[in-house]
Structure 1
Amino acid sequence: MKKFFAAACAAAFLLSAGCSTVVKTVDHGTECSESKAPVTENEAYEPLNYREQVGMWLPYVRFPDYMQGKSEESFRKSVAKIMEDAAADSVNTVYFHVRPNGDAYYVSELFPKGAYLDGDYDPLAIILEEAHDRGISVHAWINPLRLQTAEQMEKVPDSFIVKKWINAGEPYVKNVNGRWYLDPAYPETVELIENSVSEILENYDVDGVHIDDYFYPTTDTEFDREAFEASGSTELAQWRVDNVNRFVKAMYDTVKEKDTRIVFGISPQGNVDADYSTQYADVIRWGSEAGFCDYIVPQIYFGFENENSPFLPTLKQWEELVDESKAALIIGLAAYKLGREDKWAGEAAELEWINDPDIIKKQIKEVKNSSADGYALYY
């Protein structure tokens, strides 16, 4: 993992010592199988969180590097190295991908074992131990709606609830371009999402729960036509926004019912207009009204010269959108783009991430000078 840090920004983590302020209380109002029961670290565990985050995502796309085909000992060594490097670079919060595609990188009775987990160990338990030993907060990162591909779903045992729904022809699960998704229009899917959060909170000493920008998977009216027609609503877009708000609120409430000190965070895409028009994500409400999230991490994965969403105006937009008394604002930065062409940035900005190796360092400086509470890097 150190190579990712070095390649991204050797001197990028420049937030002042204030970024380590601990928030002990946040008061904002392959085959699938089951594994052994988890063991919680400490029944009296006190959640560790930082309002001013230096965050880092640990996504499932990296799991083959240090999980697939690896023993528990090998996995633990890799995780220890990741955490050592993170701590050395001032990272105080990691978002670990516990459920990326309807599969679980923790012990679950609701979802099958993670596709890249072919060892008989508990990744989340190890992540928690190694991170907490170094004073790093761990947020369980969930994709609430996204499930397995159609091919992967064939291997999922019939005992799991989503597979039962598919086999029974229930409308709660939909196939979009070869991948299954939960349809948030139904109370049954919201209940499953709530139960899945409760399962993690009951069995693990996580400090937070985190979701990113996988909300509605399509704008196609056929995705949820039956439920929409049955609802009596007349405006599809607003109805879908309401559906997303319902399960986001349910997740937040589930977290707070367990422990008000555990935080709930959302990482939507950085383009606000696209949040509404393509994913029906009510980011304005989440950032300005209590009861939806404790922190919001817009993915401002744009260069300064981006023709559609240049970094500085987009950062300013999010500063104005988020009420700091309702949610902390953490800026998501695209370290993974360093040295790569940005084909969606427009012709003039296509090579910005190649021509300017200090772009992340410059963006962190701008974040420090803004009203944001910190930043998080995606490698």
Structure 2
Amino acid sequence: MFSFQNFTLDTSLLNKLRLPLLAAGICAMLLACSSTPEKPANPATRPGKGDITYVPTNAPVNLPVLPREAPALPREFRAAWVSTVANIDWPSRRDLSSEKQKAEIINILDNAVQMKLNAIVLQVRPAADAIYPSAIEPWSEFLTGEQGRPPTPYYDPLQFWLEQAHARGLELHAWFNPFRARTAVSKSVLASNHISKTAPQAVKQYGDLMWMDPGEAVAMQQTLNVISDVVRRYDVDGIHIDDYFYPYPIKGANGNEVEFPDDPSWIAYLQSGGKLARNDWRRENVNRLVETVNQRVHQEKPWVKFGVSPFGIGRPDRLPAGISGFSQYDKLYADVELWLAKGWLDYLAPQLYWPINQGPQAFRVLHDYWLDQNLQNRHIWPGLYTSRIDNTDKSWPAEEILNQVDAMRERGGNGHVHFSMVTLNQNRKDIRKRLTVEKYTSQAVIPASPWLGKVPPAQPLLDLVEDKKTLRLQLPDAANTRLLAIWKRTGQQWLFSVVPAQAMTIDLADDPQYGAIRQVTVSAINRSGLESARTSYTLP
């Protein structure tokens, strides 16, 4: 990330829902359904592992007249980045045993579930290295303190992250730094299979960094091979690349920006007959990366989402009035507007790392800007600078992030990503608690991506077991079902939860706060977020 260093059923949204839901409720009562199992709802057309026990960490939906039909699914992407570079988030140190690394993983995921997040964006390639066993790149020094050395005792960290995340109903997106080869805080000797050793012509020294030159074919191929390898071997839910395309410019002793040293690849391009100006050629190199990653990911697994988290300010010639700042178009050579227009992304997570009232980088204005650029109707899930909540004099108050969540929802936003998980884990200035209580008042399903798959899963089946305290669930389309969305109706409340598809029974015990369960409605959710037809069971 540049900083090295939902839908919840809240009052505002509920007011928008009251009239249509009230009308639906009146219609449902006029139609008068019986106490026998109800016919399923119409199939949903809107966008949008392991053993686990259903725990009702849900929120009620209060309506003036409670409808018999369950409400629409609450939908919002709620994620946090987990940085491995410099041990920002995980592992907390480079000398932890495997068991301590695993314990930290479980703590992060449990906290994510407790606050009702539904996705983790995990950095798996900090600097041309890997936090998983790879035949292409060496083990990361941020795992063990030595590049190329695996964890002890041996385990596969990425596989463990995936198993534990999916067991909790969380998506896991694998985050890659596309071209950084060595960071300023790296200490280990470079491994013999690091790209700086195997293809030294493709790696340039730039200040205190080592950088893979995007104009070198071997560098581009290395990044594409690494991403394809992870998609093929791991059950990831998303592939995510950050804003480090060409490096952020550094200044020399004279105060001027130092040119990135890509003369060899630029000269080779010209000698091959290339006609583009140098800056356009650099942008085309990055365009080719983004387009090809999109193609390869979906050829391998069509349901895997591909997202990019660029710097938050767009092209200088398109900026809204009053907005100014660093130009990623001119300095990082990232033509993000083109990627959106071409539909090369499933989601964009622009890093909107400024407060709402900072005029030249006004949060609301920039959020609206990216919504306006979204010509293919993909997801816009901004990155929030939650880590600016700290113990320094420049710390943001927790209200800044809470207000940004509100600002996005007011404009129809349906997701966001926190940078980074360490702030939430530490609950700085009560931010985790306040998000949980004030903003994430119910669980939420990630918005659907219908362009990744148009066939919803088959409708689940329900029947009452002999003890009359449990509903048995059957999934005719288990292979196409990832999650179960469960609504429970008491006398005055609808209660919502999301669980992994392996939860095959539903407890009918009275809710301790809201009383006896009178109706259960269940739908299946597939990997693209599509919802099945619903099945309802009304208790006698």
TM-score class, shorter = 0.7 to 0.9
Q: 1:63: how far off?
A: 4.8
SS in 1 for 2:132: coil
SS in 1 for 2:135: coil
* Structure 2 gap ranges (5+): 1-5, 14-46, 51-73, 145-150, 250-257, 316-326, 421-540
Change (3 A) 1:51 1:191: farther
**C-alpha separation between the residues in 2 aligned to 1:269 and 1:16?**
30
Match of 1:372 among 404, 413, 416: 413
1:34 match: none
**C-alpha separation between the residues in 1 aligned to 2:140 and 2:124?**
9
- Supply the AA of the counterpart residue of 1:129: E
Query: Deviation digits for residues 98-143 of structure 1, max 9, x if unmatched?
Result: 0011221011111111112122322111111111001100111000
SS in 1 for 2:199: helix
Matched, 1:321 2:373: yes
Q: 1:235: how far off?
A: 1.6
Q: 1:340: how far off?
A: 6.2
Change (3 A) 1:80 1:247: same
Task: Name the TM-score, length of structure 1 as normaliser.
Answer: 0.78
Matched, 1:15 2:20: no
2:381 match: 330
**C-alpha separation between the residues in 2 aligned to 1:159 and 1:300?**
36
Q: 1:158: how far off?
A: 2.4
Match of 1:237 among 279, 283, 290: 279
**C-alpha separation between the residues in 2 aligned to 1:62 and 1:71?**
17
Change (3 A) 1:299 1:174: same
CA contact (8 A) 2:91 2:101 kept: no
Matched, 1:127 2:161: yes
**C-alpha separation between the residues in 2 aligned to 1:200 and 1:286?**
23
Paired residues for 1:91-110 under 5 Å: 91-110=117-136
Among all aligned residue pairs of Structure 1 and Structure 2, give the percentage whose two residues are the same amino acid: 28
Paired residues for 1:300-315 under 5 Å: 300-315=352-367
SS in 2 for 1:126: helix
- Supply the AA of the counterpart residue of 1:155: V
CA contact (8 A) 1:103 1:148 kept: no
Runs of 4+ with deviation above 3 angstroms: 13-18, 63-67, 149-154, 159-162, 218-222, 339-342
1:345 match: none
Paired residues for 1:84-95 under 5 Å: 84-95=110-121
Aligned residues: 326
2:486 match: none
1:283 match: 336
Task: Name the TM-score, length of structure 2 as normaliser.
Answer: 0.56
Query: Deviation digits for residues 140-164 of structure 1, max 9, x if unmatched?
Result: 1000100125995972232444412
**C-alpha separation between the residues in 1 aligned to 2:195 and 2:210?**
13
Paired residues for 1:6-85 under 5 Å: 15-16=8-9, 52-60=76-84, 61-63=87-89, 66=92, 68-85=94-111
Change (3 A) 1:303 1:218: closer
CA contact (8 A) 1:335 1:378 kept: yes
**C-alpha separation between the residues in 1 aligned to 2:103 and 2:78?**
23
Match of 2:290 among 245, 248, 251: 248
CA contact (8 A) 1:15 1:368 kept: no
CA contact (8 A) 1:96 1:140 kept: yes
More helix by share: 1
SS in 2 for 1:75: helix
1:176 match: 206
Change (3 A) 1:366 1:198: same
Matched, 1:165 2:218: no
